[in-house]
Amino acid sequence: MTWTPSRALRRLTVATALATYLLVVMGGVVRVSGSGLGCGDRDQWPLCHGGLLPPLERTALIEFTHRWVAAIATGLVIALAVVVWTRYRNVRWLRNGATAIVVLFIAQIVLGAITVEFNLPSGVIMIHLANALLLLGALVWIAVTTATAGSARARPSLGTVRLAGVAVAATYVLALSGALVVDQGAGAACAGWPLCGNGFQFSAGRFADINLLHRVVAAIVVLLLGYSMVKMRRARPGDRALRLATLSVTLLIVAQVAAGALLVDQHLPAAVRGIHLALASALWACVVVSAVIARGVTSTEVAGGTRLDRSLAARVAAS
């Protein structure tokens, strides 16, 4: 008995991934704009300054929007888990993936509560973002795998598949190095770009070292991503989805580098910091998309697990 995901399930997975992306971005906007208490202290939740609607103030509107995005994302994650556990519980990878997403989401809520309760303690911001990216990556993986289930894409070479995995890991490390800069308050430690000082001097001091470390990691990861995207695209030149995904990664890399330089040049304005975070999250998601597609969807999901159907197995063996 083969498994074919319904159109409703595919749409639900995509909607949940998009809502989670917006939640990650809005969380960053709240942080960089100083809007964490835009609706008053935590005792007023779910009200905003004592009312059901926020006042027409920037911080209140930002925080209130963040709350609504969080509510929508929570509802979608719950809906996805319920649908999978009730209708697709025999599809092992999907059931396990939905369970992992629920665990990550609960952890995200707990970390968010700790962040508010203890007024942004050092280390928690970084862990909070690290968990958020894992959650987003898991949802993107499920969305892409579900959308491409049953397609006849053949796997590329083992080396290319491994390179895709390295690209995902490297992008995650890059995001964590950026989170470390935010966590330590080292964003303004290097006044120049691409290095510190006047732009061509090395760092001086611990905070500048952290900032420069992020830039060195970024340079290495950019080169690695450029190489890996070319290799994946060449592995299946006729795959339109993979071509679009790798092109998106390339464009996001360029945009992210430009945003990073502008961030330094403009002395860390909140708007550019928000854009920088949004681009970083989008880059992470697109790298995951590229890696999932590059691995090839060569199997048909069946009740109790995954196996190759005969016709597709023959294609893989012949390739």
Mean pLDDT of all residues in 160-175 = 91
- Is pLDDT at 98 greater than 90 in this prediction? yes
Q: Is residue 33 situated within a structural domain?
A: yes
Q: Is residue 315 situated within a structural domain?
A: no
Q: How confident is the model at residue 154 (pLDDT cuts 50, 70, 90)?
A: low
Q: Dig out the tokens for 278 from the structure.
A: 């949004």
Same domain, 147 and 106: yes
Q: Is residue 249 situated within a structural domain?
A: yes
Question: Residue 36 phi/psi, 5° resolution?
Answer: -60, -35
Q: Count of residues for the chain?
A: 319
Output the DSSP codes for 219-234: HHHHHHHHHHHHHHHH
Regarding predicted confidence, which is higher, 121 or 11? 11
**pLDDT tens-digit series, residues 193-243:** 777 766 666 666 777 788 888 888 999 999 999 999 998 888 888 888 889
Same domain, 142 and 182: no
Domain containing 245 equals: 156-295
**3-class secondary structure, 306:** strand
* The three-state (H, E, C) secondary structure of 17-69, written as one string: HHHHHHHHHHHHHHHHCCCCCECECHHHCCCECCECCCCCCHHHHHHHHHHHH
Tokens 């862990």 locate to 127
Q: Is residue 52 situated within a structural domain?
A: yes
Same domain, 125 and 223: no
Same domain, 61 and 165: no
Same domain, 105 and 202: no
The residues, ordered by sequence, that sit 6+ positions from 226 with a Cβ below 8 Å of its Cβ are: 250, 253
Among the three residues 151, 185, 210, which one is the final residue of a domain in this structure? 151
- Is pLDDT at 13 greater than 90 in this prediction? yes
Same domain, 146 and 7: yes
Regarding predicted confidence, which is higher, 165 or 38? 165
Pairwise CA distance, residues 80 & 75, whole Å: 9
- Is pLDDT at 160 greater than 90 in this prediction? no
Q: Is residue 311 situated within a structural domain?
A: no
**pLDDT tens-digit series, residues 14-40:** 999 999 999 999 888 887 777 777 776
Q: How confident is the model at residue 159 (pLDDT cuts 50, 70, 90)?
A: confident
Q: Is residue 253 situated within a structural domain?
A: yes
Tokens 């070319």 locate to 230
Q: Is residue 304 situated within a structural domain?
A: no
- Is pLDDT at 302 greater than 50 in this prediction? no
Number of domains composing the chain: 2
Same domain, 232 and 147: no
Same domain, 193 and 209: yes
DSSP category for residue 201: B
Same domain, 17 and 143: yes
Same domain, 122 and 197: no
Same domain, 182 and 215: yes
Same domain, 25 and 130: yes
- Tell me what percent of the residues of the chain surpass a pLDDT of 90: 35
